[in-house]
Amino acid sequence: MTTAPATNGSAARPARPVAAGGQVRTAALATLVVGVAAVGAGLLLSGAPAAAGAAIGFAMVLVFFGTGTVVVNAVASVSPSASLLVALLTYTLQVVLVGVVFAALDASGALGDSVDRVWAGAAVITATLVWLLSHIVSATRSRQPLYDLPERGPDGPEAGAR
């Protein structure tokens, strides 16, 4: 047994491509489907400002969570030990950016006139819940190795113990 750390691209830890995996695609697709339904419901029930609010809310969640997930996946493929720190910082940045977008909409006067604030807020909450739920369901159904198995020698894993 060696104490040398396994590096990306070694036999113990093959290199992973940095890409949005099936979990991200599933979460994005589920959020997009619910978002399109919410925009249609807003348009039918309350008019164009509600539809605009729903569209902005769902777009914010799709952009912020999508890019955040890609960033965390990229960091995890390079340095798995730093991925939790980057995930927490990314989530904090996402929350701050949602607040900044709402503050900018409020300062511009669009929030309330051409964008319904209730529909926008409800859309952000709904989209976040749909994203998280679909991502959790997808992650629990995926098969991912949780640890690195030792490399097998020509006589099996315990050949060196003899």
Structure tokens at 41: 């419901």
Cα 115 to Cα 105: distance, rounded to the nearest angstrom: 8
Asked if residue 105 lies in contact with residue 35, where contact means CB atoms within 8 angstroms, the answer is no
Domain ranges of the chain: 22-142
- Examine the pLDDT at 145 and tell me if it is beyond 80: no
- Examine the pLDDT at 89 and tell me if it is beyond 90: yes
Average of pLDDT values for 101-123?
Answer: 89
How many C-beta atoms surround the C-beta of residue 124 within 10 A? 22
Strand partners for 115: 111
- Examine the pLDDT at 113 and tell me if it is beyond 60: yes
